[in-house]
Structures are given as structure tokens and as C-alpha cells.
């Protein structure tokens, strides 16, 4: 009986550990979009603005005017930017991080 109980306790604490770990992973995922944005983009796009070309901010109105509506469109811009913007290839920002940045932008800059 004692053994059964300790196996049960071990199982419960193990699943609590797994649940805790997956919540933590979720948080890093969300944070990394913001962190990556701050690292690579915020120099020219502080608060979603644009210090180089004021007409091309990351806010929805300006993005919409240029047909940049989905996260995929933002990733396309990183891979193939216009004049004045740094190019970010997959080596600098891998697809997963690029996706996280793009989602951060669409969620944050309305």
C-alpha cells in the first residue's frame, strides 16, 4: 500500500512538473517575439514607428496601405526589405523567430 501511494505521488508530481514546464515554454514563446523585435527592429521601429521613413510605420494603417496584412507579409518584408531597411536572412532571424516577431507586430501595433 505504501508503495502504491508513493508511485501515485511520484506520478502526480511528475505531471505537475510537465504542466509547469509547458506553461513556462509558452511564456518564452510570447516573450521571444517581443525580445527579438527589440533586438533587431526597435532601432528603426521604436514603438512601431519608423525613424528612417515616417510614412512606413508598423501600425495597421500604414501596413494596410502597403498590403502588409498577414504575419507572412511581414516576414517577406524582413527577407526582402525596401530602401533604408536592413535585410534579415534566415541566418540572422530563423523562420520561427521571424514568425514570432511578425505575430508580435500584428498583435501590438494596431
CB of 80 to ligand HEC, least distance (A): 9
Query: Which residues, in sequence order, are CB contacts of 86 under 8 Å at separation 6+?
Result: 40, 44
Cβ distance to ligand HEC smaller for residue 11 or 86:
86
Cβ distance to ligand HEC smaller for residue 21 or 65:
65
CB of 27 to ligand HEC, least distance (A): 21
Catalog residues that contact ligand HEC under the rule CB under 6 A: 40-41, 43-45, 50, 52-53, 56-58, 62-63, 66, 68, 74, 77-78, 81-86, 88, 93, 101
Question: What DSSP state is assigned to residue 42?
Answer: T
CA distances from 39 to 21, 42, 43, 59, 65 (A): 26, 7, 8, 19, 26
Which residue number places its CB atom closest to ligand HEC?
82
CA distances from 84 to 37, 48, 66, 102 (A): 17, 16, 16, 19
Cβ distance to ligand HEC smaller for residue 8 or 90:
90
Q: How many CB atoms lie within 10 A of CB 43?
A: 11
Cβ distance to ligand HEC smaller for residue 20 or 81:
81
CB of 47 to ligand HEC, least distance (A): 13
Amino acid at each position: 500500500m505504501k508503495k502504491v501511494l508513493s508511485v501515485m505521488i511520484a506520478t502526480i508530481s511528475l505531471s505537475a512538473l510537465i504542466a509547469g514546464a509547458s506553461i513556462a515554454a509558452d511564456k518564452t514563446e510570447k516573450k521571444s517575439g517581443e525580445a527579438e523585435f527589440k533586438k533587431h527592429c526597435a532601432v528603426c521601429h521604436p514603438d512601431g514607428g519608423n525613424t528612417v521613413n515616417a510614412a512606413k510605420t508598423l501600425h495597421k494603417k500604414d501596413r494596410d496601405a502597403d498590403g502588409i496584412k498577414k504575419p507572412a507579409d511581414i516576414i517577406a518584408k524582413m527577407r526582402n526589405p525596401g530602401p533604408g531597411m536592413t535585410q534579415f536572412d534566415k541566418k540572422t532571424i530563423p523562420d520561427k523567430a521571424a514568425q514570432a516577431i511578425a505575430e508580435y507586430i500584428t498583435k501590438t501595433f494596431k
